[in-house]
Amino acid sequence: MEALIVNLTAWEDRHGAPVAAATAPLKPYRLKSWSKARNICTPVALLRLLAPTADDRLAQDLMAQLLPLARRRGWLPPIGTFFFTVHPMARAFGRALKVSVKPQTRLAGFIFFRKACQRLIRGQLNRSHGLVLSTVTGPWRRHSLVICSYRAYADGAFLIQVQDGWQAAPQWVDFAALCRRTPLSVTALYA
């Protein structure tokens, strides 16, 4: 389980100056409120899952700044955005959230997703958790990629460091490019 823990680093600009620290206290989070949730998930929204902040107002400001950047950089597909569903996953990892990201043509539900992110920001996750990307196609076909760490920059660039079971060393990947070329399934694991 140690290898699956996400390194919640600070947001940085291109010069390494901190933008916002991702150091919110993490607490147990119940799945009931998400069991039938259907929300919109964009790469920017996924940033919010990866970088919970202690200051909810600061997080809203970051979201307001990142959404226009995402549109300009082409992170939001012209047909709409991504369809986001959540359901529990058991067995080897205990309680977990499995998030399926699929193409969808409407924006309905984004406000609900933002509220769910705000709950995450307030620390409603277990202290031991991680995120795994499962790709359907692409260079890691049928592999599960453990997110080791990430870097988000003020100009909208977002890189994730991933590692799968067949690699000895992690690799840095442009998350936006990865989203454009392959369907993703995101699994949040916690004890």
pLDDT recorded at residue 161: 61
Strands, sheet with 144-152, edge to edge from the N-terminal-most edge strand: 38-40, 81-88, 96-104, 184-190, 129-135, 144-152, 158-163, 171-174
Given pLDDT bands bounded at 50, 70 and 90, which one contains residue 68?
low
Q: What are the residues facing 174 on neighbouring strands?
A: 159
Mean pLDDT of 87-110: 31
Three-class secondary structure of residue 56 per DSSP: helix
pLDDT at 97 over 60: no
CA gap 148, 132 in Å, rounded: 9
Higher-confidence position of 68 and 62: 68
Dihedral, 142, 186, 92, 129 alpha carbons, nearest 10:
140
pTM of the model: 0.30
- For the chain, the average pLDDT equals 40
pLDDT at 137 over 50: no
| High-pLDDT (> 90) share of the chain, % | 0
pLDDT recorded at residue 52: 41
Three-class secondary structure of residue 161 per DSSP: strand
Given pLDDT bands bounded at 50, 70 and 90, which one contains residue 155?
low
Mean pLDDT of 40-60: 41
Please give the helix or strand (H or E) that residue 108 lies within, else none.
none
Q: Are 87 and 187 in contact (CB under 8 A)?
A: no
CA gap 169, 160 in Å, rounded: 14
Q: Could you identify the residue written with the tokens 């277990």? A: 126
